[in-house]
Amino acid sequence: MSEKKKVEGDLRLDQVSKTFGDFVAVDDLSLVIPKGSFFALLGPSGCGKTTTLRMIAGLEEPSSGKILIGDTDITEAKAHERPVNTVFQNYALFPHLTIFENVAFGLRRRGIKDVNEAVEKVLNLVELAHLKNRKPGQLSGGQQQRIALARAVVNRPALLLLDEPLGALDLKLRRQMQIELKWIQTEVGITFVHVTHDQEEAMTMADTIAVMNNGRIEQMGSPADLYENPRTVFVANFLGQSNFIEGEVEASDGENLVVNLKGSKIALPKSRNNAKSSSLKLGIRPEKFRLHTADEKLTGNFLKGGVITDISFFGVSTQYLVEMPWKQELMVFEQNDGGAPDLEKGDAVTLSWEPQFTFALDGDAK
Amino acid sequence: MKHWLSKNLIRIYAAAAIFYILLPILYTVAFSFNDADKRNIVWQGFTLSAWLNPCAPIGICEALGNSFKVGITATIASTILGTMIAFALGRYSFRGRATTNLLIFLPMATPEVVLGASLLSMFINIQIGAGLVPVIIAHIMFCISFVVVTVKARVASLDPKLEEAARDLYANEWETFRRVTFPLVAPGIAAAALLAFALSFDDFIITNFNSGTLNTFPEYVWTASLRGVPPQANVIGTLMFVIALAIVFAGQVISKRRQTRR
Amino acid sequence: MSIAHTSSSEKVFAPAKKSHRTAYLLLAPGLVWLLIFFAFPLLNLAETSTKTPAPSFETGEFVQTFRFANFIDAFSANQEQFFRSFFYALCATVLALAISYPLAYAIAFRSGVWKNFMLVMVIAPFFTSFLLRTLAWKQILGAEGPVVLVLQFLRILPADATITATAFSVIMGLTYNFLPFMTLPIYASLDRIDYRLLEASGDLYANSATTFRKVTLPLSMPGVVAGTLLTFIPSSGDYINAQLLGSPDNFMIGNVINSRFFRVVDYPTAASLSFILMASILVLVVIYIRRAGTDELV
């Protein structure tokens, strides 16, 4: 397969759908992934992220819609005709070939005769050149994972797809690989599309994240954007944790809205309001709360009348469960830096937080 | 002592069972050295004459040659046909799967008498009768099922992700088959071919029904058993055993090497 | 657009479906061969089974008269051989199971470095001429053979008794012939058992005998079923062992079919007998499989 015109550019999915019989795996998906970025498709099992990836790779045909790289429509192209390579979840290294031959496989299929230099270079990139004559069965999980990556990267594809490649590794190795993958991506400059269900992984590595649920993208943006300002309950709960308290908008006050939150008056910056109606679900992340003893005088946003029902020590932080007068239990994380008061189960507390850390969704949002 | 016995009782038993399995073969090997022309029943003395004159009895080497002719032809044909079916069953979805499975299973479940008789009956009816070609046809028929079962097991254990990886790495359908699928399924196909040859070479009942005046090695032994089997038959039996052992051991060595080649 | 929710979060996506055409092309040659040379001959045999001797009474000449009474005649004339065949086959199967199961168990769990060697020893005889092996047994069990001599010496056997030409030696021959067919499937089943299951059983207070009864044995059932089928079915149709190791008193239905075909040239009877044999086997197999619960035949 010779490359007449180099295919490159942004990856574009235009209203792509995929159905399996009655089941809609991917539902009218449209997105643009800029060239050279590290993009993550995040979501729970069965949300359609792997199907989307496979359609980009050419291993699955879309039921409808178009897939383009730059100006080139690759929807009809077969897998082996696309300048796209995949790092598979279980690596899929060819057991009957040596490491060298595994890495050289794609090059050879494209008719490149002299593969030595390219293969050596990429094996040095993953620091496994000394294993080039072994067979995959003789390598550890982490080594296999790096070879799978090398095998894909050596072809300099327009797009590199990663299907939960770190799933089988232990925690320490996974962290290490996350850093390495990010570094390789910046070194090599290829667009990476990374599919994962691990939100921490996505947030660490990606420039842009798309959160998928039931075949659709719920929200897309930078990690910080998605975390601090989620637009649906699903995104709010999938990335980190959230406390949701119901409230009513009462008045407008310049840049803020005044919200009646179970009897207390709370300031909500208008820019953080994603609700259309006046009945709201107010979201506050646990780490944004501050705990105070019941008799402290406070200004700003605060909620009185809480009682501590549980304390868990996490080393870096302490997690508190606080039962409020309206019988809702709120989660609070306090960093163990001496800033929080010495509290015990049963103590009465007041919760405070900065208004700009609030986000609001529709009262009946799911 | 009692503890040792209970732990190793089953090992002792296994050794005894294996000795029991090998006993007739040891007998066969031993009596290939017997100094007896026809009645090779009682030990009369050690000699190498049977080994030095393996074709002395009339018809024995001709029968052996026929067995090889039939065996090799049937093996090649049934391996090809059976492998194709195994791939279809293991890799594709199609209608009529249940019928196909049944058609493959039934020959293995039918007694050889019935297989042989029905084929002879048909061949007589269409005026072909008995002979080399009917025998080869029959052997191909009953070997296909065994090839399918053997290869299908191997195809089923092949990770489909490997073929996807090949396509992802620019291999088209043919290259994927040639460079990934086939090398990984090859040991199963080899095993199937060996099995087919063994079944064909050793077949008596179906062959007997359809061979007419032609003799294969088992048929030679059968007719000879009435008047006396010459030691040369034991020679051939011994050789078969030794070659079979060699092939099986070689196969194991090869598969070990394939996994850990430096 | 409606979105259907699946109950399990684990979904298996079918590989990109290649055209059915390729599948049919691959299947066609082999299946056609089986249709022509397996299915059709059986139908042909069915047709033959209802024929009667031609009016000319020429040997080998028959006319189709749809005489279904052929089946009844054939069965009643050979009842003894039918029941004897199934009896011998049953004995051989039970004996083979008794001998093979411990052997398979030993190879799977207790063989250590000898595993491959033992497997080879079980398989290799399968590759040598079974006629020669059966004849060797005839010799070993024969009047001048060592077994008889030893038994006579020990006064277990009277002076002029023989072992060959008895039901015992025929059953013994059948058992021996099919040992690999019984041992290997059972071994394969046992080998597949995750040893952690056995550890869990021990952890839950089962001693080794109980573990065997409650865990190992049930998990090895697919192999046992396969092995018994592979032994029983060919045994019931066998005639070699009866001929070589038995006397006419021990003849099985296979012997009768063979002689009806070649010696007496009575094709309709031979065909009828064949079908009755096949039918009975299928009935027994279906009952057995239903009870044992395995339906993966191929």
Q: How far is CA B228 from the centre of its chain?
A: 26
Banded model confidence at residue C85, pLDDT cuts 50, 70, 90: very high
Q: Show which of A235, A269, A298 is a domain's final residue.
A: A235
Q: Which domain holds residue C230?
A: 69-292
* Domain shared by A293 and A311, yes or no: yes
CA distance A261 to A241: 20
State whether A60 and C13 contact (CB < 8 Å). Answer: yes
State whether B261 and A135 contact (CB < 8 Å). Answer: yes
CA distance C269 to C283: 21
Residues β-bridged to residue A217 = A212
* Domain shared by A80 and A103, yes or no: yes
Inside any domain, residue A305: yes
Whether residue C5 has pLDDT greater than 50: no
- Predicted ipTM? 0.84
CATH no. for residue A308?
Answer: 2.40.50.140
Whether residue A323 has pLDDT greater than 90: yes
Inside any domain, residue C228: yes
Tell me which residue of C176, C127, C120, C116 sits closest to B239, measured CA to CA. Answer: C127
Chain A residues whose beta carbon lies within 8 Å of the beta carbon of residue C5: 214
> Can you tell me the mean pLDDT for A300-307?
89
* Domain shared by A182 and A266, yes or no: no
Whether residue C4 has pLDDT greater than 50: no
CATH no. for residue C131?
Answer: 1.10.3720.10
Tell me which residue of B228, B242, B257 sits closest to B41, measured CA to CA. Answer: B228
What integer pLDDT is reported at residue C297 of this predicted model?
47
Point out the residue among C40, C106, C123 whose CB comes nearest to the CB of B13: C106
Q: How many domains does chain C have?
A: 1
Banded model confidence at residue C12, pLDDT cuts 50, 70, 90: very low
Helix (H, G, I), strand (E, B) or coil at B262: coil
Whether residue C11 has pLDDT greater than 50: no
Banded model confidence at residue C3, pLDDT cuts 50, 70, 90: very low
Higher-confidence position of C60 and A163: A163
Quick: pLDDT tens for C217-243: 888 888 898 889 889 988 998 888 988
* Domain shared by A248 and A231, yes or no: no
What integer pLDDT is reported at residue A342 of this predicted model?
82
Percent helix, strand, coil in chain B, to 5, is 75, 0, 20
Quick: pLDDT tens for C134-159: 988 888 888 777 777 777 777 777 76
> Starting from the edge strand earliest in sequence, which strands make up the sheet with A38-42, in order?
A84-87, A159-163, A191-196, A38-42, A208-213, A216-221
**In percent, how much of chain A has pLDDT > 90?**
58
Chains that touch C (3 or more CB pairs under 8 A): A, B
Contact B181, B163 (CB under 8 A): yes
Banded model confidence at residue A131, pLDDT cuts 50, 70, 90: very high
Q: What's the mean per-residue pLDDT of chain A?
A: 90
Residues β-bridged to residue A85 = A160
Task: Say whether residue A133 is in contact with chain B using an 8 A CB cutoff.
Answer: yes
Point out the residue among A1, A94, A155 whose CB comes nearest to the CB of B180: A94
State whether C38 and B107 contact (CB < 8 Å). Answer: yes
Please name the residue ranges forming H helices in A1-130: 49-57, 99-109, 116-125
Chain A residues whose beta carbon lies within 8 Å of the beta carbon of residue B168: 57-59, 79-80, 84-86, 152
* Domain shared by A231 and A302, yes or no: no
Inside any domain, residue C269: yes
How many helices (H) and strands (E) in chain A?
8, 20
What integer pLDDT is reported at residue C161 of this predicted model?
65
Inside any domain, residue A320: yes
Contact A26, A17 (CB under 8 A): yes
Nearest Cα of chain B lies from the Cα of C48 at a distance, in angstroms, of: 8
* Domain shared by A355 and A212, yes or no: no
Inside any domain, residue C193: yes
Point out the residue among C38, C99, C106 whose CB comes nearest to the CB of B11: C106
Task: Say whether residue C48 is in contact with chain B using an 8 A CB cutoff.
Answer: yes
The CA-to-CA distance between both ends of chain C, in Å, stands at: 42
What integer pLDDT is reported at residue B1 of this predicted model?
65
Inside any domain, residue A4: no
> Can you tell me the mean pLDDT for C37-56?
84
**In percent, how much of chain C has pLDDT > 90?**
16
> Can you tell me the mean pLDDT for B237-257?
83
Q: Which domain holds residue A316?
A: 241-362
CA distance C148 to A16: 82
What integer pLDDT is reported at residue A1 of this predicted model?
44
Q: How many domains does chain A have?
A: 2
CA distance C196 to A61: 41
Contact A239, A228 (CB under 8 A): no
Nearest Cα of chain B lies from the Cα of A182 at a distance, in angstroms, of: 22
Q: What's the mean per-residue pLDDT of chain C?
A: 81
Report which secondary-structure segment, H or E, holds B75: helix B60-91
What integer pLDDT is reported at residue A12 of this predicted model?
93
Whether residue C275 has pLDDT greater than 90: no
- CA distances to A149, A218, B32, B186, C297 from B193, in Å: 38, 56, 29, 10, 21
Quick: pLDDT tens for B48-101: 888 888 888 888 899 999 999 999 999 999 999 999 999 988 888 788 888 888
Whether residue A133 has pLDDT greater than 90: yes
State whether C1 and A20 contact (CB < 8 Å). Answer: no
Banded model confidence at residue A214, pLDDT cuts 50, 70, 90: very high
CATH no. for residue A36?
Answer: 3.40.50.300
**In percent, how much of chain A has pLDDT > 70?**
98
Task: Say whether residue B170 is in contact with chain A using an 8 A CB cutoff.
Answer: yes
Q: Which residue has the tokens 């094709």?
A: C267
Quick: pLDDT tens for B160-191: 899 999 999 999 888 998 999 999 999 889 88
What integer pLDDT is reported at residue C68 of this predicted model?
81
Higher-confidence position of C97 and B157: C97
Inside any domain, residue C15: no
Whether residue C7 has pLDDT greater than 80: no
- Cα radius of gyration rounded to whole Å, chain B: 23
Contact A28, A15 (CB under 8 A): yes
Q: Show which of A198, A215, A235 is a domain's final residue.
A: A235
What integer pLDDT is reported at residue A144 of this predicted model?
93
Inside any domain, residue C10: no
Q: Which residue has the tokens 């302490």?
A: A318
Inside any domain, residue A5: no
**In percent, how much of chain B has pLDDT > 90?**
32
What integer pLDDT is reported at residue C153 of this predicted model?
77
* Domain shared by A220 and A260, yes or no: no
Whether residue C55 has pLDDT greater than 80: no
Q: CA nearest A216 in C: which residue? A: C3
Q: Show which of A212, A235, A258 is a domain's final residue.
A: A235
Higher-confidence position of C92 and C275: C92
Quick: pLDDT tens for A62-90: 999 999 999 899 998 888 889 999 999 88
What integer pLDDT is reported at residue A330 of this predicted model?
94
Banded model confidence at residue A176, pLDDT cuts 50, 70, 90: confident
Contact A283, A324 (CB under 8 A): no
* Domain shared by A35 and A155, yes or no: yes
Whether residue C191 has pLDDT greater than 70: yes
* Domain shared by A269 and A193, yes or no: no
Residue to mutate among B32, B92, B253, B256, with most C CBs inside 10 A, is B92
CB neighbours (10 Å) of residue A105?
26
Whether residue A366 has pLDDT greater than 80: no
Whether residue B154 has pLDDT greater than 60: yes
For each of the domains in chain B, give its residue range(s) and CATH number, in order of start.
1-50+233-262 (no CATH), 59-229 (1.10.3720.10)
Inside any domain, residue A269: yes
Chain C residues whose beta carbon lies within 8 Å of the beta carbon of residue B27: 136, 139-140
Quick: pLDDT tens for A77-129: 888 889 999 999 888 899 889 999 999 999 988 888 899 999 999 999 889 99
Inside any domain, residue A3: no
Higher-confidence position of C122 and C194: C122
Task: Say whether residue C9 is in contact with chain B using an 8 A CB cutoff.
Answer: no
State whether A28 and C3 contact (CB < 8 Å). Answer: no
Query: Would you state the structure tokens that stand for residue A181, as one six-digit string?
Result: 């993958």
* Domain shared by A148 and A279, yes or no: no
Whether residue C16 has pLDDT greater than 50: no
Contact A107, A155 (CB under 8 A): yes
Banded model confidence at residue B9, pLDDT cuts 50, 70, 90: confident
Angle at C91 between CA C89 and CA C95, to 5 degrees: 115
> Starting from the edge strand earliest in sequence, which strands make up the sheet with A301-313, in order?
A290-293, A348-353, A301-313, A317-323, A329-335
What integer pLDDT is reported at residue A27 of this predicted model?
92
What integer pLDDT is reported at residue C144 of this predicted model?
74
* Domain shared by A230 and A298, yes or no: no
State whether C14 and B113 contact (CB < 8 Å). Answer: no
Chain A residues whose beta carbon lies within 8 Å of the beta carbon of residue B170: 1, 80-81, 106, 109-110, 155
Q: E-strand spans in chain A?
A: 11-20, 23-33, 38-42, 64-69, 72-73, 84-87, 159-163, 191-196, 208-213, 216-221, 243-253, 256-261, 264-269, 279-284, 290-293, 301-313, 317-323, 329-335, 348-353, 359-362
Inside any domain, residue A131: yes
